Amino acid sequence: MLNCKQFTDLASEHIDHEHTGWKRVEVRLHLIICRHCRRFNRHLDRSRQTGATIAQQVWRSDEGTSDLIFSRIIAAAKNKNDANP
């Protein structure tokens, strides 16, 4: 049986459906009994979906828009790092 630490190490592969056999069973059993890991798994999946949606929008837009989006992301990250020394 997996513990939560082991599950978090395997969560990304679980979302990508890369597990087979007993590993897949172990992951599913852990999700059945652990509400915290179910929540973590749900948030991880939503984060990946959001990232994929943003990436699609960026790549579809013109180059100027992409540069603007990336510069805003970088500026926001710098501001966050400056605020939290």
Q: What does the pLDDT look like over 34-75, one tens digit per residue? A: 999 999 999 998 988 888 888 777 766 666 677 777 788 888
Q: Quick count: other Cβ atoms within 10 Å of Cβ 61?
A: 13
Amino acid at 83: A
What are the CA-CA distances from residue 81 to residues 54, 67, 68 (Å)?
23, 21, 20
Average per-residue pLDDT in the chain? 83
Say yes or no to pLDDT of 84 above 80.
no
Could you tell me which residue, 76 or 62, shows the higher pLDDT? 76
For 58, residues 6+ apart whose C-beta sits below 8 A from its C-beta are 65, 66, 69, 70
Residue 85 has pLDDT above 60, yes or no: no
pTM of model > 0.75: no
